[in-house]
Amino acid sequence: MRILVTVRTSGSYEALERLMMSGGQCSMAETLYLDLLFLVNLSADLYLLFLTGLILKEPVRKRKSRLFFGSFSGAVLGCSLVFVPVRSVFLWKVLELILPAVLMTRIAFGNHGIRTWLRQVCILWMLALFMGGICSVLEPADGMSASVSSGFWKMTSWSAGRFFPVLGIAGLCLYAAVVFLERRAVFCDNLYEVTLHDHGKQKTVRALRDTGNQLYEPYGHQPVHILEKRVCLEFCETASGVIYIPFSSVGTEAGLLPAVRMERMEIWKNEKQIRTLEQPWIAISETPLSPRHQYEMLLHGEL
* Ranges of each domain in the chain: 4-188, 191-299
Question: Torsion angle of alpha carbons 35, 38, 42, 44, nearest 10°?
Answer: 110
Kindly report, residue by residue over 71-90, the tens digit of the pLDDT. 999 888 888 877 777 666 67
H or E element in which residue 196 lies: strand 191-198
**Which residues, in sequence order, are CB contacts of 97 under 8 Å at separation 6+?**
125
The angle at the Cα of 214, spanning 209 to 220, to the nearest 5 degrees, equals 115
* pLDDT on residue 268: 92
Residues contacting 187, CB < 8 A, separation 6+: 208
Stated pTM of the model: 0.55
Structural element, H or E, at residue 275 = strand 272-278
Q: Of 11 and 163, which is predicted with more confidence?
A: 163
pLDDT at 110 over 80: yes
Percentage of the chain lying above the pLDDT 90 cut: 12
Mean pLDDT (the chain, rounded): 77
Q: Does residue 152 register a pLDDT over 50? A: no
The rounded distance, in Å, linking the Cα atoms of 240 and 275 is: 25
What is the tens place of the pLDDT at every residue in 222-248? 999 999 988 888 777 666 678 888 887
User: For residues 177 and 146, is the Cβ–Cβ distance under 8 A?
Assistant: no
Question: Within 13 Å of residue 63, how many CA atoms lie on the same side as its CB?
Answer: 22
What would the pLDDT profile of 284-296 be if each residue is shown by its tens digit?
A: 888 888 888 889 9
The CATH number corresponding to 191-299 among 2.40.70, 2.60.40, 1.10.287, 1.20.120 equals 2.40.70
DSSP secondary structure code for residue 97 in this structure: I
Q: Does the structure show a pLDDT above 90 at 194?
A: yes
Alpha-carbon distances of 113 from 25, 109, 116, 132, rounded to whole Å: 48, 12, 5, 29
Q: Residue 14's pLDDT is what?
A: 46
pLDDT score, position 196: 92
Q: What is the pLDDT of residues 11-61, one digit of tens each?
A: 444 443 444 445 544 555 566 677 777 888 888 888 888 888 888 878 878
pLDDT at 252: 60
What does the pLDDT read at residue 48? 87
Give the residue-averaged pLDDT of 201-216: 87
Question: Could you tell me the pLDDT band of residue 142, with boundaries at 50, 70 and 90?
Answer: very low
